[in-house]
Amino acid sequence: MKNITEKLATAIRLIATVLCILMTTVTFVQAMLRYLVGVSLVWAEELARYSMIWLCFLGAALAVSTDSHTRITFFVDLLPNPLRRYVYIFDDVVCLAFTCVITYYSINITKLTMMNISTGVPIPMGYVYGSLTLCGFLMVLYFLIKIYNSLTTATKEK
C-alpha cells in the first residue's frame, strides 16, 4: 500500500510541476506580449487561473499525504504522548469528515458546470470544478490511510 501511495504522490508532484511551469510560462508570455507588442492573448489569463486552481488542490492533497498542513500544536504537545496521539487521530477524523462533505457536494457542482463553456479557453467549466472533486477523493484516501496507520501504530505500541 505504501508503494502505491508513494507512486501516486510522485504523479501528483509531476502534474503540479507541469502546471506550475505552464502557469508561469503563459503568464510571462502574456505580460511580454501585452507590454512589448501591445497584443493580448484571450486565453492566457484563464489558462493561468485554471492551472493555479488545479495546482492549489493538488498541493492540498499532497500536503495531506505528507502531513504538511499547518497545525498549531502548542497545547496538544503539552498532553501526555498516548492522549496526544488520540487528539491527532480525532483531528484527522474531523478533517476527513469535512473533506468528505466538500467532495460530495463538489460532485454535483462539477456535473452542473459541465454544460458551461469557458470564454477564453473553450473547455467545460466542470473540468475546472472537477479539481476539487478529484483532489477531494485523493485527500479522503490519504486521510483514511493516515487514520489507519495511526490506529495500527497505537495498538502495536500497547
pLDDT, residue 19, reads: 97
141 to each of 41, 101, 134, how far by Cα in Å? 39, 14, 11
Partner residues linked to 30 by β-bridges: none
- pLDDT tens figures, 88-124: 999 999 999 999 999 999 999 999 999 999 999 999 9
pLDDT, residue 156, reads: 60
Phi, psi of 130 (to 5 degrees): -65, -15
Residue 72 · residue 91 · CB < 8 Å: no
pTM of the model: 0.88
pLDDT, residue 155, reads: 61
Q: What percent of the chain has pLDDT over 90?
A: 75
Domain positions in the chain? 2-157
pLDDT, residue 82, reads: 84
pLDDT, residue 1, reads: 67
User: What whole-number distance in Å separates Cα of residue 37 and Cα of residue 2?
Assistant: 51
Going residue by residue through the chain (158 aa), what tens digit of pLDDT does each one get? Answer: 678 889 999 999 999 999 999 999 999 999 999 999 999 898 999 999 999 999 999 999 999 999 888 888 888 888 998 899 899 999 999 999 999 999 999 999 999 999 999 999 999 999 999 999 999 999 999 999 999 999 988 566 55
User: What whole-number distance in Å separates Cα of residue 23 and Cα of residue 53?
Assistant: 10
pLDDT, residue 154, reads: 59
